[in-house]
A and B are shown apart, each in its own frame.
Chain A
């Protein structure tokens, strides 16, 4: 249940869910086999819950976007419709992370799975957020980026760049929403639009990854944990929905720095524990 709440919250907060699912079990000395079919089935249910929460939260956006994209394909051209442009931006942003994720996810995660490395990446994640905020403030102060670009006016190249920034989250400890929000801020989106684009961009990736893993839930070994998986999925969905509600309100008037401080402090503590061989 703790893992479900942790997954639902940390998947959307810019603090790296993957990093937390490595560090927290190590700190609490949970011993589970990550390749065990029952554990994999449970994790799939948690991701599915998070994906459902995102789709439900942005249901009206997705409804408009899907209708606009369908109309665009049927017509065979692009119009000036904002939802249609956001929809194609999401497609452009999803392709790079899908290609990188499918081919590099497992090798990267196997290579960078130790607590010390994850803690190091969590500290790096903090500095990425601090640097993103500092560069944005400097740009605004210098007058070179005074005009905030509305999401609907983002260029195709910039949409792809933000999507590509998500791929950094393959490294456990680097946050997908953190890197994509920072990329959005550097491309002159407002905090609110950068976060909205980041969450919309995360939805197809999380949904696709969850749906493709559903067969693991149906394997005979997974039947033993089916009820726990359902409860865990529901808990993850509720936590994820609460998280995205909180974060969309947070970015109306706040920035990424508190999350940067959190990652820095947790990363330093975890690195200290790993170097002292208290956690592995």
Chain B
């Protein structure tokens, strides 16, 4: 798997964890834990891993 998608996924998961723990408050309308923000960055992290999977797989020929 290529390093850029992995780095991006790690960053997203760290941001998700920080929102979930209530440490990160950027873009939040109130204090405390932010489950929606955490879920968003968790999903973006998963998508980054999918991108990495696609980028590392050998290209297939179109019929």
Inter-chain contact total with CB atoms closer than 8 Å:
35
Q: Is residue B10 within 8 Å, beta carbon to beta carbon, of the partner chain?
A: no
| Smallest beta-carbon distance B20→chain A, Å | 12
Q: Are A91 and B53 in touch, CB under 8 angstroms? A: no
Across the interface, name the chain B residue whose C-beta is closest to A94: B43
Q: Is residue B44 within 8 Å, beta carbon to beta carbon, of the partner chain?
A: yes
Cβ proximity bits B5-41 to A, threshold 8 Å, 1 near / 0 not = 0000000000000000000000101000001110110
A102 in contact with B54 given A77-B60, A95-B44 (CB within 8 Å): no
Interface centre among A77, A78, A209 (most CB of B within 10 A): A77
In the bound assembly, the distance between CA atoms of A76 and B36 in angstroms comes to 29
Q: Are B36 and A78 in touch, CB under 8 angstroms? A: no
Q: Which of A154-213 contact B (CB under 8 A)?
A: 208-209, 212
Q: Are B39 and A212 in touch, CB under 8 angstroms? A: yes
Q: Which of A116-165 contact B (CB under 8 A)?
A: none
Residues of chain B with a CB closer than 8 A to A209's CB: 36
Residues of chain B with a CB closer than 8 A to A107's CB: 29
In the bound assembly, the distance between CA atoms of A145 and B47 in angstroms comes to 34
Residues of chain A with a CB closer than 8 A to B37's CB: 102-103
Residues of chain A with a CB closer than 8 A to B57's CB: 75-77
Q: Are B53 and A76 in touch, CB under 8 angstroms? A: yes
Residues of chain B with a CB closer than 8 A to A215's CB: 35
Choice from B27, B39, B47, B63 contacting A103 with Cβ under 8 Å: B27
Residues of chain B with a CB closer than 8 A to A110's CB: 29
The secondary structure that dominates the B interface is helix
Q: Are B54 and A212 in touch, CB under 8 angstroms? A: no
Q: Are B36 and A212 in touch, CB under 8 angstroms? A: yes
Across the interface, name the chain A residue whose C-beta is closest to B37: A102
Residues of chain B with a CB closer than 8 A to A208's CB: 39
| Smallest beta-carbon distance A163→chain B, Å | 14
Q: Which of A197-250 contact B (CB under 8 A)?
A: 208-209, 212, 215
8 closest pairs, A vs B, by CB?
A76-B57, A106-B29, A103-B27, A102-B40, A76-B53, A102-B36, A77-B57, A77-B60
| Sample (27) of A-B pairs whose CB atoms are under 8 Å apart | A73-B50, A73-B53, A75-B57, A76-B53, A76-B56, A76-B57, A77-B54, A77-B57, A77-B59, A77-B60, A80-B63, A91-B47, A95-B44, A95-B47, A98-B40, A98-B43, A99-B40, A102-B27, A102-B37, A102-B40, A103-B27, A103-B37, A107-B29, A110-B29, A208-B39, A212-B36, A212-B39
Residues of B within 8 A of A (CB): 27, 29, 35-37, 39-40, 43-44, 47, 50, 53-54, 56-57, 59-60, 62-63
17 new A-B contacts at CB < 8 Å, known A76-B54, A110-B29: A73-B50, A75-B57, A76-B56, A77-B59, A77-B60, A80-B63, A91-B47, A95-B44, A95-B47, A103-B27, A103-B37, A106-B29, A208-B39, A209-B36, A212-B35, A212-B36, A212-B39
